[in-house]
Structure 1
């Protein structure tokens, strides 16, 4: 099974169903749907089983923490690994691990040897598998469809999860009511086996390595550095954490509201989640038809506003039938908000660092969900469920103000294809240079008229951020005090290998920024580029160093 991704037919803009024209995406999407159904059945069964095994609202809320905390711990390492080794093999490993854990949990439950703490432990193990699997699974979508179709493919991934949310809880509730949660866990294990088979049949083309291979530690630092110097990504992370922290109150306390405030059964809890899923699926179709009229920033504001009402209704409404439409609207808001975050991240990131940045995004999201679940569960135990939900509504309301300092940025027109490698002659030195030699200092000399320097400075600031984002430890622009029109750009890189990787990380969008800086240069030749390598050159074996001799100053 191979990918056949190509651009949409000219004159026919992509739509919500365009990704299904790519057979590999279709197969992966169907496998994901089956697995998501199993996961949502598992979530319902696990939460309800703990609800029946303990009287502590905190322990019930910790089920969300057990699911989210592994992502907080493992997302960054899994993102780095996903960019360094074959993603298909990683997916096969994670699906196998989760299948074994789910089947083991099912067996222990069916034999009656299970406690609330043991359910939390197995849930944590499944969360570990999902934490490693998640960043890789999300980045696979970018390999299955072309960039113009990617926003619709990401939305369909959200639809898959929410169709599963609509179907899975209902199925899980029925199986719990008539049989046992153990059978739910067993079926979830079987769903992982099915996904394993589909991924196994995927004939992924080998990835060509550009530049020296990265080490794990360096790859991890590169991903964090990319996020640090990417304002568009940073804005998403701030907004995502604020939203997920406040929205987690619904996910963490919904079963408690159903069981202890409404005094209803697991079937009603499953129906509530089904209404959430149905709302999300409906929201996907509405976004496919009219979503282009709203920016990502507007979608997040609308979704957050809906969740203010969600938390208020869960706190104050005592009739379940009034909560069904609330859950429906909440599902629409959840899909609209989360796909806006995910799409913005993936459209702003080139392929070389994709899994790492997605892992940071997932870490922040899961941190908000995990920490929020602990806070709201603790408040529910110490004060009341109603008070916890009212405070959560206040948090989401306050988070709306973040739209001013951290606006969501559009990215549809960004060209993140690899740019042409820099043509510096220093990359072809006379002698061999070990990739671990360094540090390296690069100087680029410009001639810029005084009248153009304010505009040059603004363009150079953008380029400096790109240097830092792609590997420079320090970077800046300096003026010669004896020649005001002589300006030098300088950046400092840890090793020669890292500098070579800088060349291959440049995208066409980055080249446009560099071209804007060089446009101000007025010298007779191109800007002069000089590379300096730390001296003496490093050796494979330790060399004795002679003591320094201080020269005598003539009298």
Structure 2
């Protein structure tokens, strides 16, 4: 059983790692290639995320159905997450990542075909979102495990911050692009762009899996390997605490993405451009976060950063129903984006440094399972609350839940060093 080292003062052990310049991991050629290709792929994925959610919201009046788009994207991690971790530790990771990203491109292409033919019903969109989510469930454990092998050990947290930056740059541009183009050309070209955006990533993975430095197969896919991953993750008290924080935080925070189309449609009474703009503003705030996080990480322990981030995001959710004017919405949502990025990158950095490479993908799959649990259950739950009480009360309640958890649930440290 893997045990987590306790340290006298949280975060002291990794304060030097946190002083690593954010751009330093880009000096590694393979990481740099994958980071750039992922940036383009993430842009396509966020364009698809926008198009799928707004397509359902604009065609189906049900609050619950719209919220299910987010649930459908996260649910595959609940179903396949632990298996994905075992497969990622056993299979050659470059080859696995090539296959699952090809599957993602296929699902996006199918979305484009259905939308172009006028056959994109809410249920068909949910099914294809679930397909893409399934590919991502198998992709993320392998990707996170590979990232830690492409950079020096003291650069892992900087690499996680860079990956989060890439994700958020794309999350800013993708919805803004989608919002501008949806009314003009519809959903089909946006889904087609998603498929095309993955070609660069597929080319990098294809070249890598044929090169001598490609990661080779590891452990055998077996019940023993499956149980070993579970024992490592759940046998460590500090890691269990990290899993609880992750699931609870995302249960409340996912209300923003799940209910945003309904907030724009029913509360603001605006169209696709406003929805894309608010998604972009959240991500614009998240882009700013990595530039201030290194200094904050030196001064404050992880659990304090997560607690403050949750409180800020909760305050944003609780205030959102009271604000209608775009000039006031912009700074509010951007502040929420900064809080979101600080929370996610801090939790991701802790999870990625927790265990050795031999079981890293399996233990990361448990972490991603906790993320998916919070997001899937939260999306469905807030959709039901919005159906019963209305969108504004649902957002206010989600914000209150986050504020209470930040005050009461995050009193113990998230250890800075969680090695064997």
Q: What TM-score bracket applies, with the shorter chain setting the length?
A: over 0.9
| Residue from 60, 69, 76 that aligns with 2:82 | 76
Q: With a CA cutoff of 8 Å and minimum separation of 6, indicate the structure with the bigger relative contact order.
A: 2
The partner residue of 1:344 within 343, 350, 355 is 350
Which residue of 142, 145, 148 maps to 1:142? 148
Residue equivalent to 2:294: 288
Check if 1:395 corresponds to 2:405: no
Q: Which secondary structure state, in structure 2, belongs to the residue aligned with residue 408 of structure 1?
A: coil
Structure 2: how far apart are the matches of 1:321 and 1:343?
Answer: 34
1:174-189 to 2 correspondence within 5 Å?
174-189=180-195
TM-score (norm 1): 0.70
The secondary structure found in structure 2 opposite 1:201 is helix
Superposed, 1:434-445 pairs within 5 Å as none
CA contact (8 A) 1:95 1:193 kept: no
5+ residue gaps in structure 1?
1-9, 417-508, 510-555
Q: Structure 1 residues 208 and 274 mapped into 2: Cα distance closer, same or farther (>3 Å)?
A: closer
Q: Please, which of 304, 307, 311 is the counterpart of residue 317 of structure 2? A: 311
The answer to whether residue 188 in structure 2 is matched with residue 152 in structure 1 is no
| Mapping 1:294-305, distance limit 5 Å | 294-305=300-311
- After superposing on structure 2, the runs of 4+ consecutive aligned residues of structure 1 that deviate more than 3 Å are 206-210, 288-291
TM-score (ref. length: structure 2):
0.92
Task: Report the alpha carbon displacement of residue 207 of structure 1 after superposing the two structures with TM.
Answer: 5.4
Aligned to 1:117: 123
Determine if the alignment matches structure 1 residue 197 to structure 2 residue 223: no
The root-mean-square deviation of aligned C-alpha atoms, in Å, is 1.9
Q: Choose from 147, 153, 175 the match for 1:169.
A: 175
- List aligned pairs for 1:400-411, cutoff 5 A: 400=406, 401-404=408-411, 406-411=412-417
Q: How far is the alpha carbon of 1:83 from its aligned partner?
A: 0.5
State the number of aligned residues.
402
Q: C-alpha distance in 1, partners of 2:145/2:301? A: 23
How much does 1:174 deviate? 1.6
- Structure 1: distance between partners of 2:214 and 2:44: 31
More strand by share: 1
Residues 1:28 and 2:59 aligned together: no
What are the superposed Cα offsets for residues 472-493 of structure 1, whole Å, 9 maximum, x if unpaired? xxxxxxxxxxxxxxxxxxxxxx
Distance 2:239 2:337 in 1: 25
Are 2:337 and 1:322 equivalent residues in the alignment? no
How much does 1:371 deviate?
0.4
Provide, for residues 364-398 of structure 1, a one-character-per-residue CA deviation record: whole Å limited to 9, x for no partner: 10110110011110011111112211221221122
1:473-525, Cα deviation, whole Å (9 max, x unpaired): xxxxxxxxxxxxxxxxxxxxxxxxxxxxxxxxxxxx5xxxxxxxxxxxxxxxx
In 2, are the aligned partners of 1:75 and 1:359 still within 8 Å (CA)? Answer: yes
Local SS of the residue matching 2:359: helix
Indicate which of 246, 255, 267 corresponds to 1:249: 255
Matched, 1:37 2:43: yes
- Partners in 2 of 1:14 and 1:320 — Cα distance? 37
Higher Cα Rg, which structure: 1
Q: Which position in structure 1 is the counterpart of 2:391? A: 385
Which 5+ residue runs of structure 2 have no aligned equivalent?
A: 1-15
SS in structure 2 of the partner of residue 403 of structure 1: coil
Mapped partners of 1:83, 1:319: distance in 2: 49
